[in-house]
Amino acid sequence: MRIVVCDDEPLARERLARIVQESGHQVVAQVTTGAEAIVAVKTQQPDIILLDIRMPEMDGVRCAQALNELEHPPAIIFVTAYDHYAIAALKANAIGYLLKPANKDELLEALNKAKNLNAAQLNEIRKLE
């Protein structure tokens, strides 16, 4: 799968990218803000985005809402240090919500879940807004 990693913390971003690559997936972009994530998704057309919530300029929830407006939005998995954004994440159609530091097994489970969702299922989820 093609994956964008978005986190303003370099160590967290690099750790996620390493886990993704070690699991046989491709990191097509690493970005630090929600605005950069939108550009990366538009240009790279990833299957999944791993998205932090608290970032400068545009938070992850607003970014996810913007991504959901795209014709072919990626599956969204939030990876954050904050547990109190879970409801907002679900409203933004996230298919996963992991707390930092993300456990490798939990991340791989979320990636597998995303892989198993086909485009039709993702479209149906997004219609529930």
Q: Is the pLDDT of residue 118 over 60?
A: no
Which residue, chain included where needed, has tokens 């919500």? 97
pLDDT of residue 29: 98
Region 97-104: mean pLDDT is 88
Q: Which residue has the higher pLDDT, 62 or 90?
A: 62
In the structure, what pLDDT confidence band is assigned to residue 78 with cuts at 50, 70 and 90? Answer: very high
pLDDT of residue 126: 61
In the structure, what pLDDT confidence band is assigned to residue 4 with cuts at 50, 70 and 90? Answer: very high
State the average pLDDT for the chain: 87
Helix crossing, 104-116 with 10-22: angle to 10°? 60
pLDDT of residue 128: 59
Distance CA(44)–CA(47), nearest Å, equals 9
Asked if 39 and 15 count as a contact pair (C-beta separation under 8 A), the reply is no
Per DSSP bridges, beta strands 48-51 and 75-80 are parallel
Taking the mean position of all CA atoms in its chain, how far away is CA 129? Answer: 18
Q: Is the pLDDT of residue 70 over 70?
A: yes
Per residue in 16-26, pLDDT (tens digit) is 999 999 999 99
Strands (E), the chain: 2-6, 26-31, 48-51, 75-80, 96-99
Which residue, chain included where needed, has tokens 């939005």? 73
Per residue in 30-69, pLDDT (tens digit) is 999 999 999 999 999 999 999 999 998 899 999 999 999 9
